[in-house]
Structure 1
Amino acid sequence: MASSPLLAVQHVSYQSGSQSILDDVSLAVQAGECRLITGPSGCGKSTLLKIIGGLLMPDSGTLVLNGRASDAFTPEAWRQAVGYCTQTPALFGDTVYDNLAFPWVLRQKKPDKARLRADLATVNLAEDTLEKSIQSLSGGEKQRVSLIRNLQFLPQVLLLDEITSALDEENKQTVHKLIAGLVKEQHLGVLWVTHDTSELRELGDVITLPARLKEQSEQEGCHESA
């Protein structure tokens, strides 16, 4: 008998104004599994991650983590269990250190600067990046800082939304290797939104969201999960 999923999305729908963005979406991810989410522009991929991450409330449907419905968690507990990295990271404060120290401060722990510098090195960022102003960072550097911030205290589920879009090929491969290692060794569950499944297919299977109803007649081949 298959084990219960780490995370289950059950019959989730979401509407913005009069427009249906998500219609009865269900999926699941196991611990130690990476699943890729793709589909045409505007089909609701990012909206789905925002709902799973607790940033939006669905109009209907249920999220279940380790057998517990999301409404059994406090918002803080849910955010600690479900990490969310966006394509355009929201960095704050003045420096990279301010961002990487934040998860430690929330838990009333003293940040370990040596650990922070070592973590930056895993995504090809120099040690002195820790003291850099966030205003001086490139888009790719911001994406990697955001990822490392979300990995300071490993969540159970990690949501990734086009997080390598600003990276060159070498740094993309570095991030892929890092995530693959966490999935395998730490049993992290990952949902990864991407437009380029060819570069990530070795990491997991592909879930294809359909086009929105008004677009379906113009979008072919978007109705089944691979």
Structure 2
Amino acid sequence: MTLLELKDIGYQVADVTVLQQINLQVAEQDYITITGPSGSGKSTLLRIIAGLLTRTSGQLLLAGKEWADYDPILYRRQVSYAVQQPQLFGQTVADNLRFPFQIRQQNFDSKQATAALARVNLPVAYLDKPINDLSGGERQRVAILRHLLFPPQLLLLDEISTGLDNENKQILHQEIMRMNREKGVTILAVTHDNEEINGANRLVKIVAGRMEVGQ
């Protein structure tokens, strides 16, 4: 079943065309890797899908329904967007993992949170760890868990492994693959990492705002 469909998506700022005629069908539980030169429009495309930018032209359908017809809050629970520089808040790891429960008006489940930490090789004691004491890789692991405690239908990854060492890349990749295979989370991942590109199940290339290659 098609989860996401982009029909002739275009995006323009003043006289500058950033994206044009982007057409893409994404099935449920797909894992699509998006690559291309810097400045080609990859991150812009993810932000449009996430609802953070408004396309200039075309249609964006999630589960057959036009993006504009969704309640924005409900849409963002189904389409989650993770960025290269993890945005943590509050004082501790627990503050960040508590947030997905709070916005759903649910009580914080510490067992669920600590089980999630274990899946990304972080000990239970990290719940109370100040976020300022985390390494870059640990911060990204916590940020990804915040997106995955309540699995979305679609997870957008915008170069989340850039600047991380191989150990952190592998830990993140394993958890994301697990969510894709076991929980049915559909993934769109922008990357410049050659290992991720070479291992892609389905590769899409964007060059100068156009989708050049899809397979």
Query: Which interval holds the TM-score relative to the shorter structure?
Result: over 0.9
3-state secondary structure, aligned to 2:195: helix
Query: Matched residues in 2 for 1:116 and 1:181: separation?
Result: 17
Aligned pairs, number: 215
3-state secondary structure, aligned to 2:34: strand
Matched with 1:173 is: 170
Unaligned runs of 5+ in 1: 214-221
With over 3 angstroms needed to count, the CA separation of the structure-2 counterparts of 1:45 and 1:89, relative to structure 1, is same
Question: What are the Cα deviations for residues 113-169 of structure 1, in whole angstroms up to 9, with x where unaligned?
Answer: 122122112112222221122222222222111100000111000001111223221
The two structures, once aligned, show a CA RMSD in angstroms of: 1.7
Matched with 1:140 is: 137
- Give the TM-score of the pair, scaled to structure 1: 0.89
Larger strand share, 1 or 2: 2
Query: Matched residues in 1 for 2:98 and 2:88: separation?
Result: 12
Matched with 1:108 is: 105
**Taking every aligned residue pair, what percent have the same amino acid on both sides?**
43
Query: Matched residues in 2 for 1:35 and 1:212: separation?
Result: 18
Matches within 5 A, 1:38-57: 38-57=35-54
Matches within 5 A, 1:1-226: 3=1, 5-212=2-209, 223-226=212-215
Say which is worse superposed, 149-158 or 16-25, in terms of deviation: 16-25
Question: What are the Cα deviations for residues 61-120 of structure 1, in whole angstroms up to 9, with x where unaligned?
Answer: 211111111111110011001011101122111211111111100111111112212211
Letter in 1 for 2:91: D
Shift of 1:212: 4.7
- Give the TM-score of the pair, scaled to structure 2: 0.93
Runs of 4+ in 1 over 6 A off after TM superposition: none
Query: Matched residues in 1 for 2:58 and 2:14: separation?
Result: 18
Would you say the 8 A contact 2:10–2:19 is kept in 1?
Answer: yes
Would you say the 8 A contact 1:124–1:171 is kept in 2?
Answer: no
Would you say the 8 A contact 1:8–1:28 is kept in 2?
Answer: yes
Letter in 2 for 1:89: P
3-state secondary structure, aligned to 2:52: coil
Matched with 1:216 is: none
3-state secondary structure, aligned to 1:223: strand
